[in-house]
Structure 1
Amino acid sequence: MTYRIPGLLVFCLGLSSAGAGCTVADDGGASLGGPPRSTLGAGTGTATSVMDDMDLTGGSLVPYMDAVQAVYTNGLSAEALTRNALITNLRANRAMVMLPLATETYADDSEHEELLEHAWRLDPELLRYRLRHKETREVMGYLVSCALEQGQSVSYTDTRTGKTYEFPGEIGICPHWNEQGVHEGPAGAKCRQLITACLLALVNPTGRRITVSLRGQAFPNHRPGLLSPGPSVRVGTTTEDDAAIPSFGSCKSDTRGLSRNCGWTAEHVGTCSPGSTVTLGARGTPVDECDHRLPVAPGRSDDDTILRVCDGIHGCNAGSPAHVAQTEVRCSDRSEPALRFECPSSGYFSVMSGPLMSRRASGAPGKDGAPAPRKLAGFSVASRPPTAGPMPIGAGIVVEPAPFQPAVYPAQEADIFGWREGAFYGNFWTETNPLHEKLTPEMNEVDEEGNLYPAPRSGAVVFRHAFACTGEHWDDEIAYQKDRLCAGGDEDEDCVAHSVGACGDSYNITNCPPLHQCDLEDGGLVEGDGDFQECAGDGGTWLHPITSFLNDPVDVVRRPWLPVPGMPTPGGSGTSPLLPLCP
């Protein structure tokens, strides 16, 4: 089955899973939401099988533990990346990689005599006041997030106003940049290329923060598993408009019940076959012999665990469109009810948990009478196929439902982010001029008041050595480049990268792009994660790309999705072997 979005070709697929029918998982790790970030948690899990009177399908089990996730939110505007006082100012561009990515480097009174010693003989006070410019601070936030790790940060105090801005490290690709420059040696070159790829992958022209999975090969000895898909994904606690979801906030007074919109904890994301019936229970007891005729148990304790299920990969409030209708059921050998719900059309569900009674929070969690964060022993899940058969959509066309796959909870990151968007690579910081010829050294300067004196729009790609190639699903590389990588109007767009064609194969048989821009479709560091490696650009081969995977391909472009009428929403990962590829 085929769907079209301008610039994209996508396919209706069954969920890719490891065949898990029931998974029991320990709690741990942080939730997704807010600025780009990764999560490092700890925990181990066990798995049990489930069988009950519903003929629930499952039996092959997936053990689970929280680990480094490669999931982040992209929201860096193309406008900021193409017009800022650091990377797109030629003098600052050269200086910033010679110095540590640290607070003292960008202070209003900073002075770096070592800049005079370089062949470029840069002004020691060159980097003063640059973070007074709002869009430059936006770029700095993403730069620090890509380069530094949790626990590291850069801060800037505007001495005019006394206001301080904090830029926390999150992904941690080059944490050594916090101590020294990255302008020299093989490690410096690799760092600059990986940070370039990270920033490109986190550009989003829609003004929203979209969750993406980033995969590549960082410095494996520094942090094994970095930029590799993890065994689970935490539920998002903010919307794609970067608004906090109230249900994850503290309750202002003691509040009881399933419908409250406060006092909830973000759990994990699961996968299921759309239309299938899913039963989910907290703690490790299997959800077998469940009776839907007994939805409420008398005398429930205020400390009993309650659950909420939401459509997609983010949490939700009660009554919101994403809130999945659910019924509490009683299951044998379980002290607390389980939930039964119909799998949403997206094929993804997010789980929230909390006590039946959420107490008023009067201090930090676990202190001053405030409740400590709840830790659950695990979850059990089971599912049965949908009862709906083939669906007629007119003109004699009948749509067969996607093959049933058992529900998996928590689902693996690779199964939640299955749409391979493409690869990003290059270098924003090269010995030769890295910027378009129209950008002279005097352009994109900032004064002491924080006013930027921008370069005129180039109407082209601002960075000479930045590239993007597309995954196999895009059907119009030009439309993709404009929507994903450019800022400004149609006639004077500034773009952040050159679109070079398809990274590997392409299903766009009506207008085949240049193919196989990357020599490897799956880098060898983590087998099967689908990261492109050794990609072409500017007559050479770039060794440090980052590949972006999406949960929903419409997230990173500005045009609406136009599915074929009557078709269900695709879910999961993989490609269809029946559809032809470009020759």
Structure 2
Amino acid sequence: MGVTVRRPPSWVVSLLLWAVAGCGGGEVAPAHAPESEVGESGAEIRIANSLSTDALVLNAIGTNGAATTLLATSSLDSLFDATPLGGHPHISKQLHDPDAQKFMEYLVSCALGPNQTLWYFNPKTPAAGPRVWGGNAGLCPKWLYSPPTQECLNRVSACLLARNNALGRRVELSIRGEVQGDPNVFYLEPVTRPAEYDPVSAQKLASFNDCTMAETGAQRTCGWTGDGIGACTPGATVWVGAGGSVSCPGSALGASAGSRMVLRVCSGVVGCDSDSSEVLAEGDGSCAGTDPVVSFTCPSRGYYSVMTAPWNSEDAGVASVATTSTSPQAYALSEAQVYGMREGAFYGNIFDKKALATEVYVEEVKFGDQSKFVVVGDDVEIPGAIYRKMYSCYDPSWASGSAYSTHRVCALPNSGANCAATVAGPCWGPDSNPKSGRCELNDGLMVKGDGDFERCKDPQGRLWLEPVTTFLHEPCGPVSGPDADKLCDRARKPRGKY
């Protein structure tokens, strides 16, 4: 049996990751700060990109010159209000477009911090009423109460672009970059917890919701907490414990404190519900005791997620999880270890009305005493980029980087139309001429080893100083379809350090 691992030694992680590398609108406003629907990570920027490209490029705020000018020159709290007659009238009218509301949901999540909120009024019946968007990434927190700087606009633009994909699938991302004078903005978490949202439906898994009444056992679908992510050798036996014994009699693996605890283990880096095919193991005891331990066969993808909960949902307890295996393995992986596949960089400025290739707006149509609000201009097909000052470049490890990036940023990738950005080429050149790529730095100087592209140029030679670099857990996440496997092929293995 292999060594028990509570926190992974670097040599184990290096060996293991080498071995398993490969393709593996807001709700009713609560009284307290809302949980962000578009990203559950608060202390770092690990977020999701379930904003569809179509919603990003053809909505009545982002693709509306008057609205983007107002955003670029005003504080957010001066434009939005929770009352029907509050807020700026032009902005309020555009919120009749659901895609405009989704655009703003992501903008607020990118710009504001996890403790900030922005209230607005949803005018669409039958669900009209006050709502709230929650911040998350904190790339421009002062925007809430003062007009944004150009640096802020560029950084939020990059974040918005990074968080879209053509099908609107929810894909967890690690985004990295630099803010001069504040190295903590793009902080990488030392222990990454399982994602709480289903990647296909983009809905929060029921197991991560609070229980509405007392429930017991390891099979319940509420009241769970993500603990950590592990990597293992496919086919090996893995044990996960919170105080239970692997053999009877035997020493305890992990520990529990407070109330009796239960465990669930899921395949991959996303949590799971009890009835899911992703469940690898779940349990509420071991031998003759109540402290849990479970065993499972490491899945082919080489990663697993651990969830913990009190046996009784009305109790409170703490599980200190430990793991062991018959082969090399590691648990409580960091963000850099889980999201180690560099995708590319995104940069530019969405908030420039002169750079819009088309416009979308809401029109009020009168029918006697009644009014109907119609979204106009969201059904067009525009060759190339709709945001003419937005750009993406791709990591040179992609076998077909241009094709991959086109599918990533275009709503109609097969025809290269309705794109959120222009694909500018590789971020970094080949080994023979590495600086022939679009970016001057392969790893920003502020945090060495995090692999962020910096100082990136567009095809006209203009330099952009606020790019966002994205890292994936697996290459096939943001693209799908019959050609997905070919699109997400990597020409060479990604390096651990850049």
1:154 paired with 2:146, answer: no
The Cα of 1:429 is off from its aligned counterpart by 2.5
Q: Equivalent residues in 2 for 1:382-421 (5 A)?
A: 382-385=324-327, 406-421=328-343
2:469 aligned to 544, 547, 556, which one? 547
Where do 5+ consecutive residues of structure 1 fail to align?
A: 1-15, 22-32, 41-67, 113-124, 183-187, 360-369, 386-405, 578-583
The Cα of 1:409 is off from its aligned counterpart by 2.0
Post-superposition Cα deviations, 1:450-494, rounded to whole Å, max 9, x if no partner, equal 422116432121112111011133222342233211114744721
1:445 aligned to 348, 356, 361, which one? 361
Q: Judging changes above 3 Å, is the alpha-carbon distance between structure 1 residues 355 and 110 closer, same or farther for their aligned structure 2 residues?
A: closer
Q: Which has the higher strand share?
A: 2
* Alpha-carbon separation, structure 1, partners of 2:348 and 2:169: 25
**1:474 alignment partner in structure 2:** 398
Asked whether the equivalents of residues 428 and 437 of structure 2 are also in contact (C-alpha less than 8 Å), the reply is: yes
Asked whether the equivalents of residues 85 and 136 of structure 1 are also in contact (C-alpha less than 8 Å), the reply is: yes
The aligned amino acid for 1:308 is R
Q: Judging changes above 3 Å, is the alpha-carbon distance between structure 1 residues 252 and 193 closer, same or farther for their aligned structure 2 residues?
A: closer
**2:5 alignment partner in structure 1:** none
Post-superposition Cα deviations, 1:196-217, rounded to whole Å, max 9, x if no partner, equal 1000000021222111111111
Q: Judging changes above 3 Å, is the alpha-carbon distance between structure 1 residues 245 and 461 closer, same or farther for their aligned structure 2 residues?
A: same
Post-superposition Cα deviations, 1:321-340, rounded to whole Å, max 9, x if no partner, equal 211147889699x9824333
More relative contact order in 1 or in 2 (CA 8 Å, sep 6+)?
A: 1
| SS at 1:127 equivalent | helix
**1:279 alignment partner in structure 2:** 239
The Cα of 1:305 is off from its aligned counterpart by 1.7
Asked whether the equivalents of residues 193 and 426 of structure 1 are also in contact (C-alpha less than 8 Å), the reply is: yes
2:60 aligned to 47, 66, 85, which one? 85
1:230 aligned to 165, 176, 189, which one? 189
Asked whether the equivalents of residues 86 and 96 of structure 1 are also in contact (C-alpha less than 8 Å), the reply is: no
**1:168 alignment partner in structure 2:** 134
Q: Judging changes above 3 Å, is the alpha-carbon distance between structure 1 residues 17 and 85 closer, same or farther for their aligned structure 2 residues?
A: farther
**1:375 alignment partner in structure 2:** 318
| SS at 2:356 equivalent | coil
| SS at 1:375 equivalent | strand
Q: Judging changes above 3 Å, is the alpha-carbon distance between structure 1 residues 498 and 160 closer, same or farther for their aligned structure 2 residues?
A: closer
| SS at 2:73 equivalent | coil
1:558 paired with 2:480, answer: yes
Q: Judging changes above 3 Å, is the alpha-carbon distance between structure 1 residues 250 and 98 closer, same or farther for their aligned structure 2 residues?
A: closer
* Alpha-carbon separation, structure 2, partners of 1:547 and 1:269: 23
Post-superposition Cα deviations, 1:468-525, rounded to whole Å, max 9, x if no partner, equal 0111332223422332111147447210111111111469x9xx99952111111111
Asked whether the equivalents of residues 262 and 285 of structure 2 are also in contact (C-alpha less than 8 Å), the reply is: no
1:308 aligned to 248, 264, 285, which one? 264
The Cα of 1:265 is off from its aligned counterpart by 2.2
Asked whether the equivalents of residues 304 and 355 of structure 1 are also in contact (C-alpha less than 8 Å), the reply is: yes
1:99 paired with 2:41, answer: no
Q: Judging changes above 3 Å, is the alpha-carbon distance between structure 1 residues 17 and 434 closer, same or farther for their aligned structure 2 residues?
A: farther
1:496 aligned to 372, 395, 420, which one? 420
Q: Judging changes above 3 Å, is the alpha-carbon distance between structure 1 residues 475 and 348 closer, same or farther for their aligned structure 2 residues?
A: same
**2:230 alignment partner in structure 1:** 270
* Alpha-carbon separation, structure 2, partners of 1:498 and 1:77: 17
Aligned-residue RMSD, C-alpha: 3.6
Asked whether the equivalents of residues 476 and 485 of structure 2 are also in contact (C-alpha less than 8 Å), the reply is: no
**1:454 alignment partner in structure 2:** 377
Where do 5+ consecutive residues of structure 2 fail to align?
A: 1-7, 14-34, 365-371
Q: What number of residue pairs does the alignment pair up?
A: 449
* Alpha-carbon separation, structure 2, partners of 1:181 and 1:292: 65
**2:23 alignment partner in structure 1:** none
| SS at 1:95 equivalent | helix
| SS at 2:160 equivalent | helix
Q: Judging changes above 3 Å, is the alpha-carbon distance between structure 1 residues 78 and 276 closer, same or farther for their aligned structure 2 residues?
A: same
Q: Judging changes above 3 Å, is the alpha-carbon distance between structure 1 residues 17 and 210 closer, same or farther for their aligned structure 2 residues?
A: farther
Q: Equivalent residues in 2 for 1:2-151 (5 A)?
A: 18-19=10-11, 35-37=37-39, 39-40=41-42, 68-102=43-77, 104-105=79-80, 109=85, 125-151=89-115
| SS at 2:278 equivalent | coil
Q: Judging changes above 3 Å, is the alpha-carbon distance between structure 1 residues 383 and 97 closer, same or farther for their aligned structure 2 residues?
A: same
| SS at 1:523 equivalent | coil
| SS at 1:212 equivalent | strand
Asked whether the equivalents of residues 166 and 408 of structure 2 are also in contact (C-alpha less than 8 Å), the reply is: yes
| SS at 1:247 equivalent | helix
Q: Judging changes above 3 Å, is the alpha-carbon distance between structure 1 residues 501 and 249 closer, same or farther for their aligned structure 2 residues?
A: same
**1:339 alignment partner in structure 2:** 294
Please tell me whether Structure 1 or Structure 2 has the larger radius of gyration of its CA atoms. Answer: 1
Q: Judging changes above 3 Å, is the alpha-carbon distance between structure 1 residues 258 and 153 closer, same or farther for their aligned structure 2 residues?
A: closer
TM-score of the aligned structures, taking structure 1 as reference length: 0.69
1:484 paired with 2:440, answer: no
Post-superposition Cα deviations, 1:240-284, rounded to whole Å, max 9, x if no partner, equal 11233233344566544333333322222222222233222226x
**2:495 alignment partner in structure 1:** 575
Q: Judging changes above 3 Å, is the alpha-carbon distance between structure 1 residues 458 and 330 closer, same or farther for their aligned structure 2 residues?
A: closer
**2:16 alignment partner in structure 1:** none
* Alpha-carbon separation, structure 2, partners of 1:539 and 1:208: 33
Q: Judging changes above 3 Å, is the alpha-carbon distance between structure 1 residues 503 and 380 closer, same or farther for their aligned structure 2 residues?
A: same
**2:274 alignment partner in structure 1:** 318
The Cα of 1:425 is off from its aligned counterpart by 0.5
* Alpha-carbon separation, structure 1, partners of 2:287 and 2:421: 55
